[in-house]
Amino acid sequence: MTQQQNVVVAAEDIKRAQKPPAIPGGYIPIPRRSVLKSLEINGPERINAWLDSMRASSPTHPKSSSTPSQISQDHSSWILNHPSALDMFDQIMDASKGKKIVMFLDYDGTLSPIVDDPDRAFMSDSMRKTVRKLARCFPTAIVTGRCRDKVYNFVRLAELYYAGSHGMDIKGPTRTSKYNKDTKADPVLFQPAAQFLPLIDEVYQQLVEKTKSTPGARVENNKFCVSVHFRCVEEKEWSELAQQVRSVLKKYPKLRLSQGRKVLEIRPTIKWDKGKALEFLLESLGFANCSDVFPVYIGDDRTDEDAFKKLRDRGQGLGILVSKFPKDTNASYSLQEPTEVMDFLQRLVDWKKESLRARSRV
């Protein structure tokens, strides 16, 4: 691909790069500008690193130390390296030619907008309709940090695959579609962290108890992992809340911590993540060792990076980061918000219908 890093473009070109890089066949290898930092450090530095990483996952504005011209240059440079998937739609479809598209969709911040109350992160009816149409065209999976049952209650589409708890709870469709016609076969069900259930319940109770003194703190049981929410906590209390989490977590060497959008997530130390879940689902769908598959993963959060990286390592398909602000990412493309995700999914549906029509005319 053409390297265009640090190229300055006019302000009106910030949102949409006019000359995005060409796609060489399948995956677009874009070198990382900085490597995601390791958080294996001790003491107060560790707490600060957790908080910095959490802030970086959910930027609400450009760096306050930057001048407007630096902000504009950073954004332009980032957009040139991660162009809009809508602007690049035709090139993406060209790259998928002759391959089977498989769709992987994160939930929060991708299909539903980020809101203060995690129990009210509803998906719009129009997004549900679009995802339903998408699943008629391509095998489609929801891959989320949420508890699988909870995300199912939001999405309510039985024809999809669901990978809850960051991929540690995978279940196949319960309604038949053209991708799972064999109703006699057992639906895919995979729970690699099953033995951690009692430990997760225990740590959940302890976190609820420990954090109850912090106004706005909220602990969510996601079955095989636990989320501690910072979104409604005053920023001056964040360090205290992180200390509370750490004091509980240090008693559980079999659990580890990751950071998301104003959330700390506690999960088993097993080597399993959204990237492994993506690979597992591709195998379940019969695409193990296939070169003619084109997986598309859309997500907004730090934990989605494991899936973006998996695609990069496999040299297949592409990752799309949902973000309004530049972020360090392994994704190749960007979309700004869930409404743009819906537009992109609708274009995929239209493209599929048109290619079927064209084939039937031949």
Ligand X SMILES: O=P(O)(O)OC[C@H]1O[C@H](O[C@H]2O[C@H](CO)[C@@H](O)[C@H](O)[C@H]2O)[C@H](O)[C@@H](O)[C@@H]1O
Interface with ligand X (CB under 6 A): 106-109, 114-116, 118, 121, 144-146, 220, 222, 227, 229, 231, 260-263, 265, 301, 303
Q: How far is the CB of 228 from ligand X (least distance, A)?
A: 9
Q: How far is the CB of 18 from ligand X (least distance, A)?
A: 31
Q: Is 301 a catalytic residue?
A: no
17 vs 245, which CB is nearer to ligand X?
245
* Dihedral sign, Cα of residue 20, residue 24, residue 26, residue 32: negative
Q: Which amino acid is at 62?
A: P
Q: How far is the CB of 94 from ligand X (least distance, A)?
A: 30
Catalytic residue among 87, 94, 106, 300: 106
Q: How far is the CB of 227 from ligand X (least distance, A)?
A: 3
293-299 sheet: strands from edge to edge: 189-190, 169-171, 161-164, 140-143, 100-105, 293-299, 318-322, 333-335
> Residue 326 in contact with residue 75, Cβ under 8 Å?
yes
220 vs 305, which CB is nearer to ligand X?
220
145 vs 173, which CB is nearer to ligand X?
145
**What whole-number distance in Å separates Cα of residue 181 and Cα of residue 204?**
39
DSSP secondary structure, 297-311, as one string: EEE-SGGGHHHHHHH
80 vs 296, which CB is nearer to ligand X?
296
Query: Which tokens belong to 274?
Result: 């959204």
- CA triple 319-172-303, angle to 5 deg: 35
Residues marked as catalytic: 106
